[in-house]
Amino acid sequence: MKYLVADFIHFLRVEKGLSNNTITSYHRDLRAYTQYLQTIEKMDSLKDVSRPIIMKFLAHLKDSGKSSKTIARHISSIRSFHQFLLREKQLDHDPTVHIDLPKQEKTLPKVLNLDEVEALLSASYKGDSFSLRDRAMLEVLYATGLRVSELIGLNIGDVHTMLGFVRCIGKGNKERIVPLGSKAKEALEEYLEKGRPKLVNRKNRSEALFLNHHGNRLTRQGFWKILKQIASSAGIEKTITPHTLRHSFATHLLENGADLRAVQEMLGHADISTTQIYTHVSKARLKDVYKQFHPRA
């Protein structure tokens, strides 16, 4: 089983060109699936896997406290895996046929209001090299709506402050160009002039835009820690994730009259239905304002 999973992962990386994060997610799901088959079902081959066995695995996930969203992701991973094996003639049937995805609760993404965004960005500025970097990262995130993986994946050559845009590689290795606002341009220019030169490792000069204290590319985990520290110092009580600024970027654009297609393009969404969630967020916030301020609400 391990070798078949390895072949599938190779297919995803080389032929499908999926991102490292997506591939890691597939690998984790399939490792859990094959371990269950081997340890619980005592199976040595995937040829004997049937729909009832997969349903038992999904029940096992549910009993383990996994959410419907996580279970749906496992189903998608297992389905793609078995379809790959069928195409490669490793199996003669697909046991995932007629397995439906569980219904998922639609939850609106959490966003920051304008005052909270201002507090977050202000709290990141202290004047030293690291805070210049941190402020530039947050300004760029809020100005562009980049995913965190896209942000930390930026190289110096991807940023064009004179022309006012950022070039990034998104999901599926798709390139897109996103405009930069004036505040983000200022923060980036100050970081590049005064902050980044002090973080560069002279022995191993990295092309990465945002560097850690070793002079290497900042990691997702590193950014996560930085964001939590800044949010805490800004006195923001909401739970903030790296995606929160992306959500806030899209919501604030739509609230101020931006075209949905333009926001889809900037976010790098393949399907506009993914972008439409932000119209629901805007409507929900309008209702809150109405209830708060209308005398007969």
Q: Which residues are catalytic, by number? A: 147, 171, 243, 246, 269, 278
Give the position of tokens 């290795």: 173
Helices (DSSP H) in 171-241: which residue ranges?
182-190, 196-199, 220-233
Angle between helix axes 220-233 and 129-144 (nearest 10 degrees) is 100
CA 87 to chain CA mean position, Å: 30
* Cα 267 to Cα 290: distance, rounded to the nearest angstrom: 29
Minimal CA–CA distance to 74: which of 122, 37, 112? 37
User: What three-state secondary structure class fits 169?
Assistant: strand
DSSP 223-278: HHHHHHHHHHHTT--S---HHHHHHHHHHHHHHTT--HHHHHHHHT-SSHHHHTHH
* Cα 143 to Cα 181: distance, rounded to the nearest angstrom: 6
The arrangement of strands across the sheet holding 165-169 comes to 159-160, 165-169, 175-179
Total H helices, total E strands in the chain:
14, 3
Minimal CA–CA distance to 140: which of 116, 177, 166, 163? 166
Residues in Cβ contact with 83 at an 8 Å cutoff, skipping those fewer than 6 apart:
94, 96
* Cα 142 to Cα 185: distance, rounded to the nearest angstrom: 12
